[in-house]
Amino acid sequence: MDSAPRRAVPGCALVTGVAGFIGSHLSDALLRQGTRVIGLDRQQPDGGSAAENLQSSLGHPAFDYVRADLRYDELAPAVAGADVVFHLAGQPGVRPSWGDAFADYLTCNVLGTQRLMTECERQCVPRLVLASSSSVYGQVAEGDDCREDAPARPVSPYGVTKLAAEQLCLAFAQRPAATTSVIALRYFTVYGPRQRADMLIGRALRAALSGVPLPVFGDGSVRRDFTYVDDVVSATLAASTAPARAEVVNVGGGRSASVTELLEIVGRAVGTAVPTSTSSAQPGDMRATLADPRKAGELLAWKPRVDLITGVARQLEWMTRHAATFVRRG
């Protein structure tokens, strides 16, 4: 199998999870470069966050929306004709993955991925780009970066399902007669406009703007490699054309900030300190994440361009322009 996709710019792309945070940004970027987009999501496109996220894409003549659930519905019509599939659909969140909710994580992140990969191979789609997560690494020592060849030892059920999805896709791509090549992208703490309501930076900005205290889990020393959504989209687009058969790639800047440092940045951006309350550390939370970005630079010719101070300012500016939206998301 030729490990390179057919076109430098895909003529047609399927984006699963298109109504979500990253999926909607990716759809907008694909449409700007002239790609026809089939957007698949299980949400109704005409209400709530889906309508807000897809405001630009839904009005574009090269965008078609397919409401479907990867776990149950027929996938052949959506996959047909795609030069690349961007698989961003899944059940997110570390903390909710404990307990009875695990069944949703298992079916969405593993079974849904298996069904999609099977259909891609049946239809000889040249490339699938999988949205994975830094959660697959598990606990690492503070200051140590995460390399793609390091052992993956997730410490949450969510991380376990993301690692399983990776391994499924790579197993398909490594078969001798495989028709679909795979790049799995391990995203590191993505933030920016349209961010999910449960994510830290949006919650911190809302707390500073509203005066309602932000619960901080632990002592604020937890560190994250925060990655701005535009940088994540550019890496994801690059993965659609990079020469590869079955690869895993970090998408993170190689710099981390503690929760305390982040709250200081948010406070300076808003002009008032972030009010906080203290909560106990949560099971499954990683102490630190820090990407080794060298492989992304070599394989994808990618490097992040938006630093944390700039990215927080951009998210704040978006939130102030969409006040009604972020109040509903909160």
CA quadruple 300, 305, 309, 314: dihedral positive or negative? negative
Strands 84-87 and 63-67: unpaired
Q: Is 18 helix (H, G, I), strand (E, B) or coil?
A: coil
Instruction: State residue 284's pLDDT score.
Output: 56
| Cβ pair 108, 89 in contact under 8 A | yes
The residue among 183, 205, 218, 206 whose CA lies nearest residue 86 is: 183
Residue 330 has pLDDT above 60, yes or no: no
Instruction: State residue 288's pLDDT score.
Output: 86
**Which DSSP string corresponds to 116-165?**
HHHHHHHTT-SEEEEEEEGGGS----TTPPBPTTSPP--SSHHHHHHHHH
**How many helices and strands in the chain, by DSSP H and E?**
13, 13
Lowest mean pLDDT among 2-6, 120-124, 161-165, 312-316: 2-6
What the chain holds in terms of domains, given with CATH numbers, is: 12-190+227-254+289-305 (3.40.50.720)
Instruction: State residue 45's pLDDT score.
Output: 87
Residue 147 has pLDDT above 90, yes or no: yes
Residue 325 has pLDDT above 80, yes or no: no
How many whole angstroms separate alpha carbon 41 and alpha carbon 45?
Answer: 8
**Which tokens sit at 52?**
């807000």
Lowest mean pLDDT among 143-152, 153-162, 211-220, 296-305: 143-152
Portion of the chain with pLDDT greater than 90, in percent: 77
Residue 143 pLDDT grade (very low, low, confident, very high; cuts 50, 70, 90) = low
Residue 98, amino acid: W
Q: Among this protein's residues, is 137 annotated catalytic? A: no
Lowest mean pLDDT among 15-24, 46-55, 61-70, 222-231: 46-55
Q: What is the pLDDT of residues 182-191, one digit of tens each?
A: 999 999 999 9
The whole-angstrom distance between residue 321's C-alpha and the CA centroid of its chain comes to 24
Instruction: State residue 74's pLDDT score.
Output: 97
Residue 8 has pLDDT above 60, yes or no: yes
Residues 266-278: b if buried by 16+ CB within 10 A, e if exposed: bbebbeeebebee
What is the rounded average pLDDT for all residues in the chain?
A: 91
Residue 141 pLDDT grade (very low, low, confident, very high; cuts 50, 70, 90) = low
For residue 235, give every residue at least 6 positions away whose Cβ sits within 8 Å of its Cβ, in sequence order, or none: 185, 249, 251, 296, 300, 302
The residue among 115, 112, 108 whose CA lies nearest residue 91 is: 108
Look up the pTM and report it: 0.93
Give the chain's largest Cα–Cα span: 59
**Which tokens sit at 327?**
């109040």
Instruction: State residue 4's pLDDT score.
Output: 47
Q: What is the pLDDT of residues 228-273, one digit of tens each?
A: 999 999 999 999 999 999 999 999 988 999 999 999 999 999 999 9
How many whole angstroms separate alpha carbon 50 and alpha carbon 325?
Answer: 11
Which of 65, 105, 158, 187 is the catalytic position?
A: 158
